[in-house]
A = this chain, B = another copy of it.
């Protein structure tokens, strides 16, 4: 995915979000990674590169980015909260052994009247669990 500071500034302005080096760094990192990092993982990556970044700021930044619609949470069975910068509906495969989460390209069976019965659907995603190729090979 592409990251542009200019676009980030524009969208942030629309949402009334101040642009700080920390916010740019966190968002840029999520966008550029294909995995779906948690706050802790983002902090570990950024603490060397960015002068002023704390774990607290990462948590607060993620919360702001989520409220402003820049990122979404990824459904998991638990552990920590993970974030995704891809906003279009898509699926995730979660390895039960190593915890890795990779995207799956599927068209979701949503928007039937069945769903309308339930309430107003804002987002949908398919979640699959199993053992990834790497972990399966390891076992053998």
Contacts and interface: CB of A to CB of B under 8 A. Distances in A.
Interface of A: 73, 75-78, 81, 93, 95-96, 102, 104-110, 112, 114-115, 118-136
Contacts of A126: 108-110, 124-127
Name the residue in A104, A119, A125, A130 with the highest tally of chain B Cβ atoms < 10 Å from its Cβ. A119
A119 B95 contact: yes
Contacts of A114: 104-106
A129 B136 contact: no
Name the residue in A75, A81, A93, A123 with the highest tally of chain B Cβ atoms < 10 Å from its Cβ. A75
A1 B124 CA distance: 26
A67 B110 CA distance: 31
